[in-house]
Structure 1
Amino acid sequence: MKKLDWYEFTKRIYIHTTVEKLYWCWATKEGLISWFLKDAEFSRNEKVINNSEFIQQNDNYTWFWYNWDGKEEGKILEANGTNVIKFTFAGSCVVTITIEQKEHAVLLSLTQSNIPLDDKSKLEIFYGCSNGWTFWLTNLKSYLEHDILLNETKIDLRPFGLAGYEFVNM
């Protein structure tokens, strides 16, 4: 068994859907804003790509969430067109998404690695992102299996100073 450490974490979830649908949810702007983001932009060679176009290695992204004024910018490190996506996230971290058809459902695995080992990163990235991804993968399952979104899009949670740590549907 692999030992747990502060350098990386993995979250897994079974979802009753197809590999193709799950890949679309991660690999297109249309897919990402259907369950995850308020808005997203992908660019290739400094040109914005179409909302329905699949991302490719070396594309850049900018993501915007509901209830957060910031943005996340990064680079697509790998996108094989079927079941693997890898991108930079939260500074120097790398997120790897793998999608595998199993006997009764599709297994989605998300690993966030290269987490700095200072105390601030342990709190904000390891703890914060680990909790965040747990919610977002649950939201993705809810969306694909029941057409229900669990994230808050109508109530402004930004006035709560610790909203990202206290609200479970941020």
Structure 2
Amino acid sequence: MDTRWQKFKVTGDYHVNMRALYLAWATPAGLEKWFLRKADFYTVPKRLRAADEEVMKEDTYEWYWHGYNNSLVEKGAILEANGNDLIKFTFAGNCIVTVRFSTTKGLTIIDLIQENIPPETDPEKNLFVQCQLGWVFYLTNLKSVFEGGKDLRNKRVDLTSNFK
């Protein structure tokens, strides 16, 4: 079986301290700054986490995207969150996303791996391609927001592509 399409890795480098980038992934307010319209995280007893409260292993989430109404929601769970340099969560069904943070030569490096991608015969539904494109954009937006202050997301529900 060909397993090349079941996993990919994207990497970004940032002139931002590692703690700030970790919190950009590990708090609802952080994710909403560069990634999501709304990020709700729930503790095991189903308490909604505060905007600046760090997520923890076994939290569940409901994520809402800019450019879409509330009928499009991504649901998943936090598999690991060590408070320092690693966050792992379920995504797009049974996929697993691992985000690792490190520093080198004055930069913070983010390595994102998405794995457990199911095979798909319909290219329009191909999670390998669609998710990889999405993560490249969002890692770019993370850099833009944190290094330059410019948010590149389309935040208008009424603005969609007419290209078919």
CA offset at residue 160 of structure 1?
4.0
User: Are 1:28 and 2:27 an aligned pair?
Assistant: yes
In structure 1, the residue matched to 2:10 is 11
TM-score (normalised: structure 2): 0.91
CA offset at residue 120 of structure 1?
3.6
Pairwise CA RMSD: 2.0
Length, aligned pairs only = 160
TM-score (normalised: structure 1): 0.88
Query: Contact (CA 8 Å) 1:7, 1:115: kept in 2 or not?
Result: yes
Equivalent residue for 1:76, pick from 66, 78, 84: 78
Could you tell me how far apart the structure 2 residues matched to 1:131 and 1:125 are? 10
**Stretches of structure 1 lacking an aligned partner (at least 5 in a row):** 163-170
CA offset at residue 111 of structure 1?
0.5
**Stretches of structure 2 lacking an aligned partner (at least 5 in a row):** none
1:117-165 alpha-carbon deviations (Å, 9 max, x no partner)? 1224784311111001000000000111111111111463346476xxx
User: Are 1:127 and 2:129 an aligned pair?
Assistant: yes
Query: Contact (CA 8 Å) 2:38, 2:64: kept in 1 or not?
Result: yes
CA offset at residue 53 of structure 1?
0.4
1:59-107 alpha-carbon deviations (Å, 9 max, x no partner)? 0000000112301000000000011000000000000000001112111
Could you tell me how far apart the structure 1 residues matched to 2:156 and 2:93 are? 29
Identity of aligned residues (%): 36
In structure 2, the residue matched to 1:48 is 48
Could you tell me how far apart the structure 2 residues matched to 1:105 and 1:11 are? 16
Equivalent residue for 1:146, pick from 148, 155, 162: 148
Could you tell me how far apart the structure 2 residues matched to 1:130 and 1:121 are? 13
Residue 126 of structure 2 aligns to a residue in which SS?
helix
In structure 1, the residue matched to 2:95 is 93
Could you tell me how far apart the structure 2 residues matched to 1:85 and 1:147 are? 24
Letter in 1 for 2:112: L
